[in-house]
Structure 1
Amino acid sequence: MAFAVEPAISDLKSDYDRDGWCKIPHRFDDETVGLLRERIDSICGRRRPEVVYEKDGKTVRAVHGCHAFDDICAALVRHPQLVTLAEALLGGPVYVYQFKVNLKQAHEGAAWPWHQDFAFWREEDGMPRPDAVNIAVPLDDVHEGNGPLVVIPGSHTLGLLDLPAMTGEDEKNGWLQHVSADLTYTVTGARADSLAREHGKVLITGRAGSLHAFHPSIVHSSSNNLSADRRALLLITYNAVGNAPTNPTRPEFLVERDSTATTPGGDGRLRLVPDVSPSDG
């Protein structure tokens, strides 16, 4: 299915530039989702540096950099429609800056507080500008009860908000605090409430395999998973080739060092179909 039809691309870019997020009118089919879920579940069962746990030390919270060692994930980041979409939204060649799957296990998955991704990428890695885009692919059906992503439309235009004064102790916590429930860089609840009153907020729900794009500076969060349904959200961050970080010190599975443009490549195991599910909101 082609995103290459110019009116469709221009509409998506218009929505993205205005709101800081957009819904893509395609999704990965059920077989593709099943294959991706199978690979991620297998990775979650291994003790690897890329696997992050909740505070209990046993419940998987996230896995990172899977495209570097799993062939299906590697094929996914090169999917022609995803690369085309990222290039259209950013206006030029892109590479994969980050790959991760955030998991909220049934009844156990902890919230992500209000934050902006670009705060981490600029402050920790030295990314010059927010010229990157997150492509989100849920591997499970996402509904209001299992901790969906919540975004505040238009908040990406406000710059970085509520950056803390860092101390030596903060620096010792290292990269694990950037992927835990106790994030280093957050937007205060009062600020988020004020922004939500002014701009509204959108719950990003939908069936497994659906596609959304969101801006690195958009203010977003997600709640605890209080339901019996897991919520696994796969996220590919494409960065503009000319926007590579200047001081990447975090592990390579969090920050890709090679900024060579991603070459699109098809894989018959990864199939897109039209998404006719209801709109978010």
Structure 2
Amino acid sequence: MIETDDGHLAELIAEYEENGWCRSPFRFTDPAVNVLRGSLDAVCRRGGPEVVHEKGSTAVRAVHGCHEFEEAYAMLVRHPYLLALAEALTGTPVYVYQFKVNLKQAREGQAWPWHQDFAFWNAEDGLPTPAAVTLAVPLDDVHENNGPLNLIPGSHRLGYLGPGKVTPGDRSDWRRNFDADPEHTMEADRARELIDSFGSTRATGRAGTIQAFHPNIVHSSSDNASPDRRALLMVSYNSVDNAPLHPTRPEFLVGRNTDQLKPRCDERFPLEAV
């Protein structure tokens, strides 16, 4: 495990506050990524309600909450560096609010429209404030053609921009917000206006890189038109003082244990400089 210092965290905090997004100068090594990929394959084979498929397909679109039953992921969310980064960016002790791996299968993975994560979290779970951060680790190399996140840097500084589209229907069906046409999304014209003001950037890079996203940054992703899968592991850490007010969605989507998460080292997950 490489040693990190407060100086690099201070730089990341400044970048995060300015852009709502930052990339760590460290990544998980290739052997560490292989462990995480193996766990993902096991979860997808396991099936269960935590696994969501593309609409009308057997292709896996996302898996949720697998840190609760997959040992490697349980250790990953307690990784000392991830916790230090999450606590530095939120300024508070944290717990795991949500864990998921979003997948875009080769030539099958469908887009996610423009949205703010906080729009979902506030509307669906009653999350009081955006005192949270999502740390993302791609398990595959991410390039322009396999559905990278498209971000509008600085858009988080506008705050919560509203609930977005809301479709009448069964409010108890949590899966409605995990297909290619979810609720709480932003109109494309509004996103284009924001891009005109703030610009946009794509979160490409090697598997194992570590990036952080603010709950209010406006983002989307495109279809995967390439022969390469894109799997993105995301841990959303929330302040222990910011528990959701009405968490009715399943526990594998919304963590109920709000106790401060304590770091634990695991030699399978070393870091290296990018």
TM-score of the superposition, structure 1-length normalised? 0.94
In the superposition, relative to structure 1, how do residues 233 and 165 fare at CA in structure 2: closer, same or farther (>3 Å)?
closer
Q: Percent identity?
A: 55
Q: In 2, distance between residues paired with 1:241 and 1:89?
A: 14
Contact in 1 for aligned 2:100/2:235 (Cα 8 Å): yes
Cα distance, 1:174 vs structure 2: 2.1
Contact in 1 for aligned 2:113/2:185 (Cα 8 Å): yes
Residue of structure 2 in register with 1:225 after alignment: 224
Cα distance, 1:86 vs structure 2: 0.4
Residue of structure 2 in register with 1:279 after alignment: none
TM-score of the superposition, structure 2-length normalised? 0.97
Counterpart check, 1:46 vs 2:55: no
Residue of structure 2 in register with 1:131 after alignment: 131
Q: In 2, distance between residues paired with 1:159 and 1:26?
A: 29
How many residue pairs were aligned?
273
In the superposition, relative to structure 1, how do residues 165 and 136 fare at CA in structure 2: closer, same or farther (>3 Å)?
closer
Residue of structure 2 in register with 1:158 after alignment: 158
Counterpart check, 1:87 vs 2:87: yes
Q: In 2, distance between residues paired with 1:50 and 1:2?
A: 35
Cα distance, 1:92 vs structure 2: 1.5
Cα distance, 1:160 vs structure 2: 2.4
Q: List structure 1 segments (4+ residues) > 4 angstroms apart after TM superposition.
A: 164-167
Cα distance, 1:96 vs structure 2: 0.5
Q: In 1, distance between residues paired with 2:115 and 2:166?
A: 16
Residue of structure 2 in register with 1:199 after alignment: 198
Residue of structure 1 in register with 2:25 after alignment: 25
Q: In 1, distance between residues paired with 2:223 and 2:28?
A: 26
Contact in 2 for aligned 1:2/1:81 (Cα 8 Å): no
Cα distance, 1:76 vs structure 2: 0.2
Residue of structure 2 in register with 1:245 after alignment: 244
Residue of structure 2 in register with 1:100 after alignment: 100
Contact in 1 for aligned 2:114/2:185 (Cα 8 Å): yes
Cα distance, 1:41 vs structure 2: 1.1
The runs of 5 or more residues in structure 2 that have no matched partner are none
Q: In 1, distance between residues paired with 2:83 and 2:169?
A: 36
